[in-house]
Structure 1
Amino acid sequence: MKARKHWLLLFMIVLTIGIVLAACSSDTTNEEDPDEPEDTEEPAEDDSEDEAEDEPSSDEPQMGGTLTGAMDTAPSGVFNPIFYEEAYEANILDFTHESLVSQNENLEFEGNLASEWEINDDQTEITFTLEEGVTWHDGEQFTADDVVYTYKAIASPGYVEAGGVRTDYVVRLVGYEAFNSGETEEFEGVVAEDDYTVTFKFAESNVTILKDVAFPIIPEHIFGEIPIAEIPEHSATLDAGAVIGTGPFQFTEMLEREQYVLSKNADYWKGEPYLDQIVWRIVDQSVMLGLLENGEIDFISDPNGVPAADYETVAGLDHIEIIEQTDFGYQLMGYKVNHRPDADVESGAIEPDNWIPNEDVGEQLVRQAMAYAIDRQAIVDNLLYGHGSVINAPIAQQFWAYDESAVTAYEYDPAQAGALLDEAGYVDTNDDGFRETPEGEEWVVNLNYPTGNQLRENSAPILAQFLEEVGIKIDLRQPKEMSAYVEDLTNDNSDWDLYLLGWSLGSGDPDPSGLWQSSAAYNFSRWNNPDSDQLMLDAMQAPEAFEQEYREEKYSEWQSVFSEDLPALLLYAQNKIYGFNERLNGVDPMPYSFNNDPELWWVSE
């Protein structure tokens, strides 16, 4: 009863804050891609000048105009597909860069920069015919050499050490290990047959062959002579006007941490975009809704969308349209199960055999106890206003592989939490209300979280309160700006115990290894479980894995292992709520992104 009273008191405090923010006019939250917030947007320009006597009908697409969107967190500033890490940066790159294939609303792959492809019988090779006449933003021709270069760069020695995390796209290619280790300077995995034909060669039959070849392409003529270690700091990675892609818009201007301008690529190979510009403004959540209401911004979309608390207010605005759909991702409270040694952090190495167990949350029973201690449904009901769901498996609910029946639900049960802590030897030996370690020493668990996502910021003290109610003393750290937060998270600041984060998942395949395999860069929990690693490998192993039923079985087993060992407590999947001014036309979001076919967006004035 005491816990419930404290929860209600804390919720009333957060609710009061939310009401104040809503009265000021809004808030929105940003989500990580592999997690990082981004904000940016530019003031809308008045495009109401008469251009001709015969004005086009308002229901027909019109050329011209500026569209203004809002993000609550600024991109950290890496605008290069092979090195970026955040969903906020993705809000720039989605408009500037393209892949050989894309996906439709059913998650089926379709041609994009490639017009057609052929896969051999054992699925070890795929040959693409590229679209001809595609040019980069600087006018250079797009060719097969650009495709080869992109994958070769990701496979290069020093890529991971330079901060790259996209190796999952290349590790299955022929010759990856020899090339990555420096044994050879030739990379056999991707070959340009001619200017418009390229072949990918895989070491074994590849179950996810189309997903692996769907990475955005970067220009060889820009980066080809740049050492891989220098690419993250190169102007073509960092600077507006220097970032070059093939997409419908070019990143042309930036007032860092305030606004980011995308100007149309008039020579876009699919046809000239209708809009002149798309501007991202970085706007605090407390004022975002007011700006949407008065027309200073036109849309609120990824990564966080309209806050659930503001749904009814936005839905009541006559000139604003709403689209709500299940998020392709989740929010979590991660456990730093292990830490990397200083030498590995300095070298960028991810060597699970070197990891050091975290004494504060390394015990499985402790992690399970914390899960039982937190009332996640109350968070969904009271902070998300029901616009979301509690999930227990780290696979997008839209995928066939998601299996809620394979996992432990960890429903709110403080008594069970206490029993597990007792079993693990964490008991209150001095009657101060907090448990000591099995050795009788003070036990303090720190909880870390970033700024930018208001819902996540509001969740942090509530999570701390739930944990303290079962006797776990929590050090609720001051939140950090996202770019600094992710740097600390990646570098394994040695005293971190708990961290809050959100993942926007890839839509190509349910394979979770990019986030949870022990050697994955994004495995921020530094979870090292051989059974988990083996099941993820088995689920990709041909020929059995060409049968979906087999993969379902393996992923079901994997979700059970994840749920029991619990490297992270999945808090909820928040519904994506997109709000946009009715003057914006042509919006057709994918299940995984609002930013779909922006060349077809147009505004009616």
Structure 2
Amino acid sequence: MMKKMTGLVLTMTFASFLSACALNSSTDEKANKETTSAVQTADIKQIKDQVIKASNTGNIPAKALERKDTFIAGMSAPGGVFLPYFYDNGWDGNATSPIFSPLVDLDKNGKPIPILAKSWEISDDQLVYTFHLKDDLKFSNGSPLTADDVAFTLTLLHDPAYDGWGDLAAATIKGGKDYKDGKAKTIEGIKVVDPLTIKITTEKVNAKALLLLGGIVLSKDYYGKDYTYAHLDYLKKLYSKPVGSGPYKLEKYIPGQEIRYVANKNYYDGPPKVKNFIYKVTTPETTSQLFEAGETDYDRFPAEPESVEQLKELGFANIKVTTANSYSYAYINNTKPYLKDKAVRQALIYGLDRQKITDVTYKGYGTVANVPVSPVSWAYTEDGINKYKYDVKKAKQLLDEAGWKVGKDGIRAKGETKLKISYLTSRNDDDFIPIAKENYKALGIQFNPEVLDFNTLLTKLNKKDYDLAAVSTPMLSDPDDAVADLASTHPDNSAGYSNPKVDKLLEESVSTTDINERKKIYHELYKELSDDPPVILLNYRKVIHANNARISGLNPDNFTGISSSLPNLSIKE
């Protein structure tokens, strides 16, 4: 499930970019609850997206000024698998992005733009994609990049031994399944027209096909020279020796410390102006320290007032506060008899003070989520949506009408079954716990939180051995990424949710490439999910980026992070 990179992310981190927190003692948990209850949420001001320019570049640390040709960005722990489509660690995705380029990528608004492709055409029936490559493309080792490399990449991802996150099944390339099943030696729908043109025929319209088919291109000469059908282990020896077509190439990887890159002289748009790029491994404890000392030029910081004030005091930091292209929520196990009832799920939302949870967690740098997509998405709307304002009376009414009566012990019951709700999280500092415990007690629900290690939580989630579980989405490239696993037939439907109308709308939402038509479908889908909620939507958060003002051209966005900026950076003298 986790390999697909478009499903859930267990909330084991503070704001998804921070590294995993170790489980602390019960004493720490108690202290956290006491702190949480003391927060005066009524005084919290909601922060808007904003850019704060450096106020005093004279404060730039000498350590940073010494680097005339090197840009250093902080990141959490990479795993060392520098081959697209094959890594499990999401940070390796960040690490590979400077090395490899796709045919098509997304701009800052989430719309497709050409990278290695010069252009593309989609047939009238939306089934045939023809990509035209730019002239004289090369990989970092100097070998030419042609349509044969695109064909090889798409074929490799259909190999039966491939089980990574780059699943092309949704693109339904004609003959792709036959190749995967060993019934064909080639994929019928992939045709190399000439060295700069490839035509791909699909069997079903899918709105995400353009990005799936136009992904990162791997070198056939380098990654395919030892390829034999159904045997991909040979690639492991190349994980640490990448050859790509991005703006940089790997120079050295020092596990636990940094990844060093050098400008790729064969990059199609010319080598980057900044010769050297480094990803330095940082932790929540070292992020601010390294940035302040000039050891890093860029990093992301906890979305809270203290972070912004500290960065402003430095004087040399350009600060960007943006809404993240993700959201947090709690899974509801819809397979449990007492949670199949829509009224009970609605009561769990009405009776939960989500605004307080959001304010306590993000201190103004977050807002309550009411639809399963980020506000930065073109599909976002709250028109016709039930916002489930905190309403204890309404929650109690729904539970009463559903037959759950309060017993002498204060716990609701229906027959012999008491309404006891478990909640799983991998964060001991989860602000959901103290607030939900208090809110649900007022409703007559016994709330039983449990903090587990990441792997145990994941196992329980996959087995549907839970009632509620803390999750969040990764960065969303398409609105479908956030809701696809709610389909009753989806293999990763960890919520166990089933709604025929939702199934129909989910299928329709990706069955056209017309963005305006898709908007209409998503708006209808969000209304249905609001009425029949499969999860408890919690919040959208802000992300705080900061860079040393000596770096010009850095503009991190919600779809590609800093990778799209890398080719255009420069260092001010």
TM-score in same-fold range (> 0.5): yes
How big is each residue's C-alpha offset from its partner over 1:434-468, in whole Å with a ceiling of 9 and x where there is no partner?
445653357341322358xx7xx444554454444
Which residue of the other structure, out of 413, 423, 434, is the alignment partner of 1:446? 423
Judging changes above 3 Å, is the alpha-carbon distance between structure 1 residues 277 and 199 closer, same or farther for their aligned structure 2 residues? same
Quote the residue 1:125 is aligned against. 128
1:404 equivalent in alignment to 2:382: yes
The one-letter code sitting in structure 1 at the alignment partner of 2:508 is: D
How big is each residue's C-alpha offset from its partner over 1:468-513, in whole Å with a ceiling of 9 and x where there is no partner?
44343333322435xx3685377x1442332222223433566755
* SS, match of residue 253 in structure 2: strand
Counterpart-to-counterpart distance in 1, 2:419 and 2:147: 61
1:371 equivalent in alignment to 2:349: yes
1:553 equivalent in alignment to 2:491: no
Counterpart-to-counterpart distance in 2, 1:153 and 1:514: 25
* SS, match of residue 281 in structure 1: strand
- Larger deviation, residues 588-597 vs 141-150: 588-597
1:599 equivalent in alignment to 2:563: no
Shift of 1:118: 2.8
Quote the residue 2:445 is aligned against. 472
Is the CA contact (8 Å cut-off) linking 2:171 and 2:208 kept in structure 1? no
How big is each residue's C-alpha offset from its partner over 1:498-552, in whole Å with a ceiling of 9 and x where there is no partner?
222222343356675544334445544243332212112223445xx64x55433
Shift of 1:229: 6.9
1:13 equivalent in alignment to 2:35: yes
Quote the residue 2:218 is aligned against. 218
Quote the residue 2:190 is aligned against. 190
Shift of 1:206: 5.1
Task: Within 5 Å, give how 1:37-56 maps onto structure 2.
Answer: none
Judging changes above 3 Å, is the alpha-carbon distance between structure 1 residues 163 and 511 closer, same or farther for their aligned structure 2 residues? closer
Judging changes above 3 Å, is the alpha-carbon distance between structure 1 residues 250 and 478 closer, same or farther for their aligned structure 2 residues? farther
Quote the residue 1:68 is aligned against. 73
Quote the residue 2:114 is aligned against. 111
The one-letter code sitting in structure 1 at the alignment partner of 2:545 is: Y
Quote the residue 1:488 is aligned against. 459
Judging changes above 3 Å, is the alpha-carbon distance between structure 1 residues 442 and 336 closer, same or farther for their aligned structure 2 residues? closer
Shift of 1:113: 0.7
Task: Within 5 Å, give how 1:401-550 maps onto structure 2.
Answer: 401-429=379-407, 431=409, 433-436=410-413, 438-440=415-417, 443-449=420-426, 457-481=430-454, 484=455, 487-488=458-459, 492-507=462-477, 514-520=484-490, 522-541=492-511, 546=514, 548-550=515-517
Counterpart-to-counterpart distance in 1, 2:451 and 2:230: 33
* SS, match of residue 404 in structure 1: coil
* SS, match of residue 451 in structure 2: coil
Shift of 1:318: 0.5
How big is each residue's C-alpha offset from its partner over 1:124-176, in whole Å with a ceiling of 9 and x where there is no partner?
222122123333334433221221222223334354xx3446335523x2234
Counterpart-to-counterpart distance in 2, 1:232 and 1:465: 52
Q: TM-score, normalised by structure 1?
A: 0.75
How big is each residue's C-alpha offset from its partner over 1:222-271, in whole Å with a ceiling of 9 and x where there is no partner?
4434568764894257x43x233221123444344443334432332221
Counterpart-to-counterpart distance in 2, 1:417 and 1:212: 43
Counterpart-to-counterpart distance in 1, 2:83 and 2:340: 36
Judging changes above 3 Å, is the alpha-carbon distance between structure 1 residues 219 and 154 closer, same or farther for their aligned structure 2 residues? same
Is the CA contact (8 Å cut-off) linking 2:63 and 2:295 kept in structure 1? no
1:315 equivalent in alignment to 2:312: yes
Counterpart-to-counterpart distance in 2, 1:227 and 1:520: 31
Counterpart-to-counterpart distance in 2, 1:305 and 1:191: 48
1:296 equivalent in alignment to 2:306: no
Counterpart-to-counterpart distance in 1, 2:62 and 2:458: 36
Quote the residue 2:282 is aligned against. 283
* SS, match of residue 278 in structure 1: strand
Is the CA contact (8 Å cut-off) linking 1:98 and 1:247 kept in structure 2? yes
Judging changes above 3 Å, is the alpha-carbon distance between structure 1 residues 511 and 13 closer, same or farther for their aligned structure 2 residues? closer
Judging changes above 3 Å, is the alpha-carbon distance between structure 1 residues 556 and 601 closer, same or farther for their aligned structure 2 residues? same
Shift of 1:358: 3.2
Quote the residue 2:552 is aligned against. 585
Shift of 1:64: 1.6
Unaligned runs of 5+ in 1: 1-8, 18-43, 50-61, 338-356
Judging changes above 3 Å, is the alpha-carbon distance between structure 1 residues 131 and 414 closer, same or farther for their aligned structure 2 residues? same
User: Percent same amino acid at aligned positions?
Assistant: 24
Task: Within 5 Å, give how 1:67-86 maps onto structure 2.
Answer: 67-71=72-76, 74-75=77-78, 78-84=81-87
How big is each residue's C-alpha offset from its partner over 1:195-243, in whole Å with a ceiling of 9 and x where there is no partner?
2211121224555553343322233334434568764894257x43x23
Judging changes above 3 Å, is the alpha-carbon distance between structure 1 residues 464 and 243 closer, same or farther for their aligned structure 2 residues? farther
How big is each residue's C-alpha offset from its partner over 1:170-190, in whole Å with a ceiling of 9 and x where there is no partner?
23x223443444443331232
Unaligned runs of 5+ in 2: 1-30, 40-60
Is the CA contact (8 Å cut-off) linking 1:429 and 1:440 kept in structure 2? no
The one-letter code sitting in structure 1 at the alignment partner of 2:459 is: D
Judging changes above 3 Å, is the alpha-carbon distance between structure 1 residues 587 and 122 closer, same or farther for their aligned structure 2 residues? same
Is the CA contact (8 Å cut-off) linking 1:236 and 1:244 kept in structure 2? no
Judging changes above 3 Å, is the alpha-carbon distance between structure 1 residues 155 and 365 closer, same or farther for their aligned structure 2 residues? farther
Quote the residue 1:350 is aligned against. none
The one-letter code sitting in structure 2 at the alignment partner of 1:265 is: N
Shift of 1:420: 2.8
1:145 equivalent in alignment to 2:148: yes
Shift of 1:409: 0.9
Q: TM-score, normalised by structure 2?
A: 0.79
Is the CA contact (8 Å cut-off) linking 2:325 and 2:377 kept in structure 1? no
Aligned residues: 521
* SS, match of residue 383 in structure 1: helix
Is the CA contact (8 Å cut-off) linking 2:33 and 2:434 kept in structure 1? no
How big is each residue's C-alpha offset from its partner over 1:264-322, in whole Å with a ceiling of 9 and x where there is no partner?
32332221123343333343324422332232322223xx7654552233233301111
1:91 equivalent in alignment to 2:107: no
- Larger deviation, residues 370-379 vs 179-188: 179-188
Quote the residue 2:12 is aligned against. none
The one-letter code sitting in structure 1 at the alignment partner of 2:466 is: W
